[in-house]
Structure 1
Amino acid sequence: MQTGKTGVNVKRSIWIISGEASGDVYGAKLAAELRRLAAERGDELTVSGMGGPKMIAAGIDIRVDSTELGVVGVIEVLKHIFTFIGIFFRLAGQAKKERPGAVVLIDYPGFNLLFALMMYWNKIPVVWYVCPHLWVWGKWRLPVLAKICTKMLVIFPFETEVFAPTRLETEFVGHPLVDIVEERRNPEIVRDPASFLLLPGSRTMEINFLLDPMLGTVAELAKKHPALKFHIAAPREKIARLCREKYARYREKHPDTPEVGISCGDTSDWQQRAGTGLAASGTVTVESAIAGLPLVVGYKLNWVTILLASLVVRLYRGFFTMVNIIANREVYQEFLQHHFTPKELVPAVEAILPGGARRAEVETGMAEVKQLLTPNSSSAGRQAAEACYGVLEEQPPR
């Protein structure tokens, strides 16, 4: 049997903290790779933390189920503030008592920045995986982050430049979705040019703001392109149920709205099957680019939230959609707030339908983005796990 660097079996413990659907996927993948590394070294590794269904399925000892904690916006966060406070102090207390060899924080900056500070005070090493977008809304926090973190693992190549002025050890490990999308690719699925996919988001707030304009766009597209078939892919049943309810109400008011299928948990299949799509801005746009699905992208927030955000948030490279930021040009045409309307969305969608004026341009851009997100060696998940394990091995064995 292999043994750790000390020549004997070493018991190690690591925490992974995730608060959103995308981080849940990354956390599950990271845990699997960490366990492989531990087995190769002959170590005994315990993985605990906060996460959702993917991390639970990966066998992580989940202390807090984060399934419904992914909220966006000042008003939305304030509604759940006491829940967040309770979870924060409970987790911090457990970490202080158990003293894991390292804590890996995945994105989720509102919660994780404070958690990182708490871990720093308690001398528990912090690895930040999928760094917060401080280059958009908080460059002034870079020195703080550099002080409280042991290592920063970034998934976008330009992010190493962001942290260059600090002394924080920063490593580009590639985007985990490159591995994940390829692993779940079904060779039997053939892209259907007539299939149109709606991806209205993973949060209740997003469905409430975005689905109606999407359905209005669908109604207009159906009139002009009757061969199109429409489908909504939801990430989980609660969101699928909300989509069904809102679709039924919308169709009562607008009887000419075409049939729209609604399913749950099969987004990756639809990203391979659909010919074109319309999506909420978020991780799903990066996932779609890797899968090769041309999109039009948009987002809407509560007006109070957007006004407050405008005081601190600046568009990076002139865009808010991550695919465009990575490419440093407009691959997916994007629409924010009052621009997210059928009047503006319909012509943008028509331009990327098969044979459309921008179709080839978008396909080329998606391929470039995938290449930019691919690490130079091994896989993204493996590189991230090796970086995290390196921090673990610097700690005294338990």
Structure 2
Amino acid sequence: MPLRIAMVAGEASGDLLASHLIRAIRRHHPDAEFFGIGGPKMQAEGFDALWPCELLAVHGYVDALKRYRELSGIRKALLAIIRAQRPAAFIGVDAPDFNLWLEGRVKDGGTPAIHFVSPSIWAWRGGRIRKIARSVSHMLCLFPFEPALYEKAGVPVSYVGHPLADVFPLHPDRSGAREKLNLALGIRVVAMLPGSRQSEVRNLADTFIATARLLHRRHPEAVFLVPLATRETRQLFEAAVHRNDARELPIRMLFGHAVEAMTAADVVLVASGTASLEAALLKRPMVISYRIGKWQYRLMKRMAYLPWVGLPNILCNDSLVPELLQDDATADKLAAAVDRWLGDPVACRRVAQRFAELHLSLRQNTAERAAAAILPYLGDGVRS
């Protein structure tokens, strides 16, 4: 029988990670077959998607509760398929709330369960590590400080680096990015990334536009680039521009092109999340912002362990870039923080050097290292 591997990836980021991993495993097992829950990038590698990964995209506690019955039914159906087919291994890519339940039951049935991308136990809900220890055969970590937490709990673990560090150049081509976006080299450029989710754009669009208005008064030549990931988020931001009567501002909305926009920018104003790590890998000074529901913010703040929410500060263990969250996420404060970067080239060079060191620490050829950690669990690939 061919080697069969079950996988579950949630959202677009998991789809990308899993597609690279499939390719890396196939270099060792060319005939391996993969099935489960995945997206278009995994399917392009020959993955058999029984359900699309978009089904796992839940936004906040309320959405998760609303969809609990649907997602629980999918999870139980997939578990039944895995038990019937007895694959060589199960690999859960991110989506911990969905995958850890599955991994525990798969592992109890004798199938190795590997989890790719550690949950943020170092940031909040650290008690989850007990559930993880029961559920997984091996944890694959993206960040260098994570393995020690799992070793202490007796969980087999490997540090594999972050895939974005492999993809992003060590020396970003800023002039090339400006040429591609038809921007002159001498003008000031601020990239504004209000988030990839509709809820994030709703929460930040008005404030980011007000921030652009204040900065435009101080820097009339400045251009504001706003890359938006989907048609829906673009429509939300366009509506905010009209609502705030801001059509006279030099705001350029882009469909995608977030990397090019950040590379071209003097400063990045970014919603907390993976985009802030991308900005760090592009060696850009930034201001991190975020706003969520008040009760949700209070709950998460009470459960948090670290003084930062932004990945650049967490990974460098230092307050390198300002974080203006919730009630502090005002146009006045955001504009002042962006303006400080624009007026301090020495500080910009200093933070770029720290981000270059971070980039090197995360560049580990992630897919190959992850595959190397998984291969010992695959055995001869035969299940009787």
Deviations 1:15-46 (A, max 9, x none): 3322133222212221222222323xxxx111
CA contact (8 A) 1:73 1:302 kept: no
Displacement, 1:185?
7.0
Aligned residue for 2:76?
89
CA contact (8 A) 1:331 1:366 kept: no
Matched, 1:209 2:195: no
Go from structure 1 to structure 2 and tell me whether the alpha carbon gap of 1:269 and 1:390 turns closer, same or farther (over 3 Å shift): farther
CA contact (8 A) 1:13 1:45 kept: yes
Aligned residue for 1:286?
277
1:35-184 superposed matches below 5 A: 35-39=26-30, 44-67=31-54, 69-182=56-169
Match of 2:290 among 294, 299, 322: 299
Q: Secondary structure at the match of 1:331?
A: coil
TM-score (norm 2): 0.89
CA contact (8 A) 1:27 1:106 kept: yes
CA contact (8 A) 1:351 1:357 kept: no
For 1:283 and 1:139, locate their aligned partners in 2 and report how far apart those are by CA, in whole Å. Answer: 21
Name the stretch that deviates more: 181-190 or 109-118.
181-190
Q: Secondary structure at the match of 2:266?
A: strand
Displacement, 1:394?
6.5
Aligned residue for 1:29?
20
For 1:329 and 1:225, locate their aligned partners in 2 and report how far apart those are by CA, in whole Å. Answer: 30
Match of 1:232 among 226, 229, 234: 226
Q: Secondary structure at the match of 1:33?
A: helix
Aligned residue for 2:181?
none
Matched, 1:19 2:17: no
- Long gaps (5+) in structure 1: 1-9
1:269-284 superposed matches below 5 A: 269-284=260-275
Aligned length: 377
Displacement, 1:255?
5.7
Letter in 1 for 2:96: P
Letter in 1 for 2:330: T
Go from structure 1 to structure 2 and tell me whether the alpha carbon gap of 1:183 and 1:26 turns closer, same or farther (over 3 Å shift): farther
Go from structure 1 to structure 2 and tell me whether the alpha carbon gap of 1:54 and 1:246 turns closer, same or farther (over 3 Å shift): farther
Displacement, 1:91?
2.4
Match of 1:386 among 368, 372, 382: 372
For 2:259 and 2:166, locate their aligned partners in 1 and report how far apart those are by CA, in whole Å. Answer: 13
For 1:97 and 1:344, locate their aligned partners in 2 and report how far apart those are by CA, in whole Å. Answer: 57
**What root-mean-square deviation, in Å, do the aligned CA atoms of Structure 1 and Structure 2 show?**
2.5
For 1:290 and 1:384, locate their aligned partners in 2 and report how far apart those are by CA, in whole Å. Answer: 21
For 2:21 and 2:171, locate their aligned partners in 1 and report how far apart those are by CA, in whole Å. Answer: 16
CA contact (8 A) 2:271 2:290 kept: yes
Aligned residue for 2:350?
361
Displacement, 1:50?
2.1
Go from structure 1 to structure 2 and tell me whether the alpha carbon gap of 1:30 and 1:240 turns closer, same or farther (over 3 Å shift): farther
Superposed structure 1 runs of 4+ greater than 6 Å apart: 183-188
1:180-199 superposed matches below 5 A: 180-182=167-169, 189-190=176-177, 192=185, 194-199=188-193
Match of 2:305 among 307, 315, 323: 315
- Long gaps (5+) in structure 2: 179-184
Identity of paired residues, percent? 27
CA contact (8 A) 1:351 1:358 kept: no
Letter in 2 for 1:323: P
For 1:186 and 1:53, locate their aligned partners in 2 and report how far apart those are by CA, in whole Å. Answer: 29
For 1:367 and 1:164, locate their aligned partners in 2 and report how far apart those are by CA, in whole Å. Answer: 28
Go from structure 1 to structure 2 and tell me whether the alpha carbon gap of 1:211 and 1:51 turns closer, same or farther (over 3 Å shift): farther
Deviations 1:32-86 (A, max 9, x none): 22222323xxxx1112232334334444222222236433422232233333223
CA contact (8 A) 2:3 2:382 kept: no
Match of 1:264 among 243, 255, 270: 255
CA contact (8 A) 2:101 2:135 kept: no
